[in-house]
């Protein structure tokens, strides 16, 4: 069974009216050729899912009435922050899409010494659009956040209180051997921070700085992975390890 068509309302849905604009309205009207009376699923990033009926189609705008709403939680049972030095071009889209699918709560673009791509406003808007597209497809009702880009040393200093922080670096002990404990408590303890470096790798100072601040260095096997492969592997590997411990 194919998943229901889901549309994203960029403004929070209040009451029983909803409006779709921009690419969402365009897709519904011009690609699916939806007509008044058709029913669709909406989400607005609040965690709720809405069943709505198209009432009116105007130029570039679709007005709907909300028939029902339900809280449907498809999030991980902990906050997962992925800090990553962004790859270039199309590989950014792939990274964002997979991070959304895997349940990452927030993606932090990292500025490391050897980082090449820095997200300006235009890039951020594009990444945000990828988040929406992936959420439509995978059924998430909360959007993965895209944080402001952060300098690695500042980020490491700001995350000192988080119990579980792992960064990937070739040659380090494998994820399972690194001896970390899955998140157990509440609040901050239910946070996991993961980091992946730039294509040119971390500098020795960046590795040493992170380790000194309590970050654990983990390896992902004998092959050198692209940034986006490393990110997906690290997230999936750690999530599997946490699942295994209940």
Tell me how far apart the alpha carbons of residues 104 and 96 are, in angstroms, rounded to a whole number: 9
Binding residue for ligand SAH (CB under 6 A) from 175, 196, 238, 239? 196
Binding to ligand SAH by residue 152, rule CB under 6 A? no
The residue (of 165 and 169) whose beta carbon lies closer to ligand SAH is 169
Binding residue for ligand SAH (CB under 6 A) from 79, 98, 169, 237? 169
Asked if residue 145 lies in contact with residue 153, where contact means CB atoms within 8 angstroms, the answer is no
Tokens representing 176 are 């399972």
Binding to ligand SAH by residue 94, rule CB under 6 A? no
Q: How far is the CB of 101 from ligand SAH (least distance, A)?
A: 19
Q: How far is CA 244 from CA 151, 184, 239, in A?
A: 33, 13, 9
Pairing verdict, β 191-196 and 48-58: unpaired
The residue (of 59 and 223) whose beta carbon lies closer to ligand SAH is 223
Tell me how far apart the alpha carbons of residues 52 and 67 are, in angstroms, rounded to a whole number: 5
Among 168, 97, 179, 181, residue whose Cα is nearest residue 136: 97
Q: How far is the CB of 39 from ligand SAH (least distance, A)?
A: 44
The residue (of 106 and 133) whose beta carbon lies closer to ligand SAH is 106
Distance of CA 102 to the CA centre of its chain: 8
Binding to ligand SAH by residue 242, rule CB under 6 A? no
Tell me how far apart the alpha carbons of residues 191 and 186 are, in angstroms, rounded to a whole number: 9
Binding to ligand SAH by residue 174, rule CB under 6 A? no
Binding residue for ligand SAH (CB under 6 A) from 8, 43, 152, 202? 202
Binding residue for ligand SAH (CB under 6 A) from 18, 99, 143, 230? 230
Q: How far is the CB of 77 from ligand SAH (least distance, A)?
A: 25
Binding to ligand SAH by residue 201, rule CB under 6 A? yes
Binding piece for ligand SAH, criterion CB under 6 A, among 7-15, 43-51, 146-154, 225-233: 225-233
Asked if residue 85 lies in contact with residue 122, where contact means CB atoms within 8 angstroms, the answer is no
Q: How far is the CB of 138 from ligand SAH (least distance, A)?
A: 24
Binding to ligand SAH by residue 168, rule CB under 6 A? yes
Q: How far is CA 57 from CA 15, 38, 69, 133, in A?
A: 19, 11, 22, 22
What is the three-class DSSP state of 152? helix
Which positions lie near ligand SAH, rule CB under 6 A? 168-170, 196-197, 199, 201-202, 219-221, 223-225, 227, 230
């Amino acid at each position: 069974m194919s998943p229901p068509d889901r549309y994203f309302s960029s403004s929070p849905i209040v009451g029983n009216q909803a409006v779709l604009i921009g690419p969402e309205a365009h897709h519904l009207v011009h690609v699916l050729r939806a007509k008044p009376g058709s029913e669709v699923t909406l989400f607005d990033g609040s965690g709720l899912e809405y069943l709505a009926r198209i009432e009116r189609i105007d130029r570039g705008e679709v007005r709907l009435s909300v028939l029902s709403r339900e809280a449907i939680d498809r999030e991980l049972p902990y906050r997962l922050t992925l800090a990553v030095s962004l790859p270039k071009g199309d590989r950014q889209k792939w990274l964002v899409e997979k991070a959304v699918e895997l349940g990452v709560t927030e993606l932090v673009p990292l500025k490391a010494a050897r980082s090449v791509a820095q997200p300006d406003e235009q890039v951020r808007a594009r990444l945000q659009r990828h988040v929406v597209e992936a959420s439509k497809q995978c059924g998430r009702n909360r959007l993965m956040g895209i944080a402001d880009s952060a300098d690695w040393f500042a980020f490491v200093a700001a995350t000192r209180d988080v119990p579980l922080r792992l960064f990937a670096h070739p040659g380090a002990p494998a994820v399972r051997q690194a001896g970390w404990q899955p998140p157990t408590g509440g609040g901050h303890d239910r946070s996991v921070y993961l980091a992946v470096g730039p294509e040119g790798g971390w500098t020795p100072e960046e590795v040493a700085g992170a380790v000194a601040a309590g970050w654990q260095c983990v390896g992902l096997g004998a092959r050198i992975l692209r940034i986006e492969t490393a990110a997906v592997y690290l997230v999936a590997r750690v999530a599997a390890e946490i699942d295994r411990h209940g």
